[in-house]
Amino acid sequence: MDITTALADIQARINKSSSLKDLEDMRIQYLGQNSELTKSLQSLGKLAPEERRVKGAELNQLKMDLQITFAAMKAGLEAAELNAQLASQAIDVTLPADPTYQGRIHPVTAAMEDIAAALKTLGFVHAYGPEVESDDYNFTKLNLPPHHPARQDQDTFYLNPFNAEDRARYVLRTQTSNVQIRALEAYKPPFRVMGIGRVYRRDYDLTHTPQFHQVEGMMVESGTTFAHMRGVLDEFLRLFFGKSFKTRMRPHYFPFTEPSGEIDMECQACKGAGCRICKNSGWLEVLGCGMVHRNVLAVGGLNPVENPGFAFGAGVDRLAMLKYGITDLRLLFESHGAFLQQFGKAPVAAV
Ligand code: DAH
């Protein structure tokens, strides 16, 4: 094969190479140390001078032509690779962005803030009760002695082994009512306290979560009557919901109050006509309350004649659901951005 045909042949092959790796392999094959061309160039010295001159010029020309072809092809392949990379990594700035949510106050936190604000207006101040509480403060001092049957209403998380006589037994508080005992020990009447926070019960289904929230209130002041309680609680509900509506009271039993009652509010979804939310009754139960039992007042060395008082308790999660129109309790605990965006209160910028 003469040298021109060889050049054309190799150039055709080079031009077909599809990758830089392919091209490099070919370069080694045709121009590398062990290539025929290199070997031919090395053996030029063995030729007669005239032949060496002609053959040498030919081979060097071939080498140069091949080098140029390789360089051109390499530049082309590099450009193509860069273009492919740019195309695959391109950012389409017209695509819609992933949604981002501005932080919101969780509906339960918002409800707690609104409850506290309403009670503050009515003269109540914050009081404290721990979440890990002794059996004594969660039950016994609230007129629920060790074998009292009403203890079974509250599926308790016990933190140490069961021993009904052991006063040092600890529980996760089942109710914020422990705040009543703490307040009776800490304050002299007249006082009005509120306790808002987490409580725990061994319960988990569509309408119960093992951890939920309650608000507790207690007012002890000479001359306090059942009528004062009714007035304060109606006013509390009006302030919390931001509007007036009918309420009613039904007799009920709580160990720590006597007499006790439950307050219902007119269902705001159907205005009392009856619907799914109020189970067709037109009423929604919102509060438990009553006059503080003499056995509870005794914790503070008080008696119901000189220092009567009333107490009340309500579920914060339930109040939040009623206020914001949320129908599934579980949504309150799942923290989905879209949910919070819809119901959460916009945060107030810190100053
Ligand atoms: N602690 C009660 C509960 O968890 C709620 C309650 C009812 C609290 C009546 C009170 C009260 O202070 O007077 O069901």
199 CA: nearest ligand 1 atom: 4
Instruction: Say yes or no: CB of residue 200 within 6 Å of ligand 1.
Output: no
Instruction: Say yes or no: CB of residue 311 within 6 Å of ligand 1.
Output: yes
Q: Best substitution site from 156, 176, 256, 297 to test ligand 1's pocket, by max atoms within 8 Å of Cβ? A: 256
* Token pair in block for residue 134: 């002794």
CA distance 206 to 202: 14
Q: Which residues, including other chains, have CB under 8 Å from residue 183's CB and lie 6 or more apart? A: 127, 191, 193, 195, 218
Q: What is the DSSP letter of 49?
A: H
Q: Which residues, including other chains, have CB under 8 Å from residue 168's CB and lie 6 or more apart? A: 134, 135, 160
Nearest CA to ligand 1 atom 6: 313
CA distance 322 to 286: 9
Q: What is the mean predicted confidence (pLDDT) over 171-192?
A: 97
Instruction: Say yes or no: CB of residue 216 within 6 Å of ligand 1.
Output: yes
Highest mean pLDDT among 147-161, 252-266, 321-335: 252-266
Q: Best substitution site from 137, 176, 254 to test ligand 1's pocket, by max atoms within 8 Å of Cβ? A: 254
What is the model's pLDDT at position 267?
A: 92
Nearest CA to ligand 1 atom 7: 288
What are φ and ψ of residue 304, in 5° steps? -70, -15
Strands 283-292 and 257-266: antiparallel
CA distance 307 to 93: 72
Q: Best substitution site from 201, 312, 317 to test ligand 1's pocket, by max atoms within 8 Å of Cβ? A: 312
Give the CATH fold of the 107-340 domain: BirA Bifunctional Protein; domain 2 (3.30.930)
The answer, yes or no, to whether residue 298 has pLDDT greater than 90, is yes
The answer, yes or no, to whether residue 317 has pLDDT greater than 60, is yes
Instruction: Say yes or no: CB of residue 292 within 6 Å of ligand 1.
Output: no
Instruction: Say yes or no: CB of residue 134 within 6 Å of ligand 1.
Output: no
Which residue, 214, 130, 146, is CA-closest to 178?
130
Judge contact between 157 and 183, C-beta under 8 A: no
* Interhelix angle 49-88/3-16, nearest 10 degrees: 10
Q: What is the mean predicted confidence (pLDDT) over 109-114?
A: 96
CA distance 288 to 256: 11
Nearest CA to ligand 1 atom 8: 313
176 CA: nearest ligand 1 atom: 1
For the full predicted model, state whether its pTM sits above 0.75.
no
CA–centroid distance, 188 to ligand 1, in Å, is 22
Nearest CA to ligand 1 atom 3: 175
Sign of the torsion angle spanned by Cα atoms 53, 55, 59, 64: positive
In this predicted model, what pLDDT tens digit does every residue of 20-77 receive, in sequence order?
999 999 999 999 999 999 999 999 999 999 999 999 999 999 999 999 999 999 999 9
In this predicted model, what pLDDT tens digit does every residue of 200-231 receive, in sequence order?
999 888 788 999 999 999 999 999 999 999 99
Which residue, 325, 123, 328, 113, is CA-closest to 206?
328
What are φ and ψ of residue 144, in 5° steps? -120, 75
CB atoms within 10 A of CB 260: 20
Where are the extended beta strands (E) located within 41-190?
125-126, 132-134, 170-172
Strands 191-200 and 125-126: parallel
CA–centroid distance, 229 to ligand 1, in Å, is 14
Phi-psi map region of 230: left, alpha, beta (phi>0 left; psi -120 to 50 alpha): alpha
The answer, yes or no, to whether residue 92 has pLDDT greater than 90, is no
Where are the extended beta strands (E) located within the chain?
125-126, 132-134, 170-172, 191-200, 211-220, 247-254, 257-266, 283-292, 309-315
CA distances from 318 to 152, 286, 288 (A): 22, 8, 13
CA–centroid distance, 166 to ligand 1, in Å, is 24
Domain extent listing, the chain: 3-88, 107-340
More confident residue, 268 or 223: 223
CA distance 222 to 24: 100
What is the model's pLDDT at position 162?
A: 61
Collapsed DSSP state (helix, strand, coil) of residue 242: coil
CA–centroid distance, 318 to ligand 1, in Å, is 14
* Token pair in block for residue 288: 């438990």
Residue whose entry in the numeric block shows the structure tokens 């031919």: 40
CA distance 254 to 138: 14
What are φ and ψ of residue 227, in 5° steps? -70, -35
Residue whose entry in the numeric block shows the structure tokens 């009760």: 129
What are φ and ψ of residue 150, in 5° steps? -70, -15
Q: What is the mean predicted confidence (pLDDT) over 234-244?
A: 97
Cα R_g (the chain), whole angstroms: 43
